[in-house]
Structure 1
Amino acid sequence: MLNLLNRLSGKFLATLLLLSAAASAYSAPKTVLVLGDSLSAEYGLARGTGWVALAEQKLKQNNIEAVVVNASVSGETTSGGRSRLPALLSKYKPDLVVIELGANDGLRGLPVPAAEANLRAMNEAATKADARVMLIGMRMPPNYGRDYADKFFAMYGKLSKDIKAPLVPFMLDGVADKPQLFQPDRLHPLAEAHPTILANIWPQLQKSLKAK
């Protein structure tokens, strides 16, 4: 009888240890690397008022253990992001890489296939580093020509399907058509617009962090 109790106690203890280990792994903080341009780098804004900072606050409010690294740089292109990403992956070892790039390629009229190739290369680098990728898309103003604007916007959807990465189609949805929400340059949103930007991004960000 005593041997049976000892065996049962041993099994119970082993089960508790396994459950504890599983819980620790699940609750371990994840690292989110945001690789973006001025729209994510708080250009013209007070520190802590951009969507990335707001996302970090919301993660804490929702008890989601995550460390957010904002590696966004004003004026960044997909080419610049591609060249910077390997060092960032090595330094921060992120679980999730949020890529918000392409707007400056579009504003400069750079070839869409080149931007797509750079985004694909960034996904490959992240995948090799055991990180998932989430894409944030952008639209070009109509004055850049319908054909170019359509191809630019379609690039994100096509890429998202090809690499099986979650996509926020247009981060400025609900903002782009409201001139009063932009700084005098009419390119960069005011701080008042960033809660709306986060609302566009949050659902996919939350899902991506819950994914294994």
Structure 2
Amino acid sequence: MPRLLLIFLALALSAFAQSTSSPRTVIIFGDSITAGGALPQSQKDQLWLTQVQRQFSAALTLVNEGKGGRPTNSLTEFDAMLTRHPHADALAIALGMNDSRDITPQCVPKAVANLRAMIAKARTAYGPSLPVLLIGPSNINKAALGPTKPIANERETKLRELNIAFKNLATETRCQFVTLFGIVPAPSLLKDGVHPDASGNTAIAKVLAPKLKALR
């Protein structure tokens, strides 16, 4: 058989396999920014996760495991999530914003220990080669921070430290890492300094879409 014909057949088979393959299931374990609790009902379809799902509906099934107020020490909730979802092709963890309220020296090492435990639990449940994406927490709008405004500077410092620590943890544990710090425009955080509006969710989606699509 001519070589060019063999190449053509190989490409055709590859394209067919891709077109008939099932979407990859990716669980997103996060807080209220993942849950979308801060968006009004009329803008729920603008949640960053929903935007990414629309973009890659044929390739990805994103499971929204976000919950308002969730810190990294939610290991019991993480165990329950693993039980609810016996199968996953990949996992993304988007936590740290609530941890930043703890401005003591224990904040960062505790958060890192919690994420390390989650990664280990997930790879025990889904396999040792499970792809994991650690999503570093986003920036805040200190002027609009609300009740925690008195510790705005300290909280911003912790968010920077958490991002550095999560990036190092990703390297240590063979995970991928992406930061949202500096991604969310300050005007999109006017509600409470933390939760992005629809435009802020679009900014997050633009950063996370290619990372989630390539997570394997």
Give TM-score, length-normalised by structure 1. 0.76
Contact 1:135 1:160 in 2 (8 A): yes
Distance 2:69 2:156 in 1: 24
Distance 2:139 2:188 in 1: 17
Q: Which residue of 1 aligns with 2:115?
A: 119
SS in 2 for 1:103: coil
1:173 has 2:182 as partner: yes
1:143-172, CA deviations, whole angstroms, 9 ceiling, x for partnerless residues?
017864543221111111001111112x25
Sequence identity (%): 28
Q: Which residue of 1 aligns with 2:90?
A: 96
When residues 26 and 165 of structure 1 are mapped into structure 2, their CA distance, relative to the original with a 3 A threshold, is farther
Distance 1:55 1:118 in 2: 27
Distance 1:188 1:23 in 2: 40
Distance 2:62 2:188 in 1: 26
Q: Which residue of 2 aligns with 1:10?
A: none
Contact 1:140 1:152 in 2 (8 A): no
* More displaced stretch, 115-124 vs 82-91: 82-91
In the alignment, which of 14, 34, 37 is matched to residue 40 of structure 1?
34
Contact 1:85 1:122 in 2 (8 A): yes
TM alignment of 1:1-212, pairs within 5 A: 23=17, 27-45=21-39, 46=41, 47-60=44-57, 63-64=58-59, 66-80=60-74, 82-92=75-85, 93-109=87-103, 111-129=107-125, 130=127, 131-138=130-137, 143-144=153-154, 148-169=158-179, 171-175=180-184, 178-208=185-215, 211=216
Q: Which residue of 2 aligns with 1:12?
A: none
**Structure 2 unmatched ranges of 5 or more:** 1-12, 141-151
**Cα drift, residue 133 of structure 1:** 1.3
Distance 2:70 2:19 in 1: 35
Contact 1:107 1:140 in 2 (8 A): no
**Cα drift, residue 74 of structure 1:** 0.7
Q: What is the RMSD of the two structures over their aligned residues, measured on CA atoms?
A: 2.7
When residues 122 and 40 of structure 1 are mapped into structure 2, their CA distance, relative to the original with a 3 A threshold, is same
SS in 1 for 2:76: helix
SS in 2 for 1:48: helix
Contact 1:140 1:153 in 2 (8 A): no
**Cα drift, residue 201 of structure 1:** 0.9
Q: What amino acid maps onto 1:127 in structure 2? A: R
Distance 1:168 1:144 in 2: 22
Give TM-score, length-normalised by structure 2. 0.75
Distance 2:34 2:155 in 1: 26
Contact 2:25 2:63 in 1 (8 A): yes
**Cα drift, residue 174 of structure 1:** 3.2
When residues 96 and 26 of structure 1 are mapped into structure 2, their CA distance, relative to the original with a 3 A threshold, is farther
Distance 1:166 1:26 in 2: 27
Contact 1:33 1:94 in 2 (8 A): yes
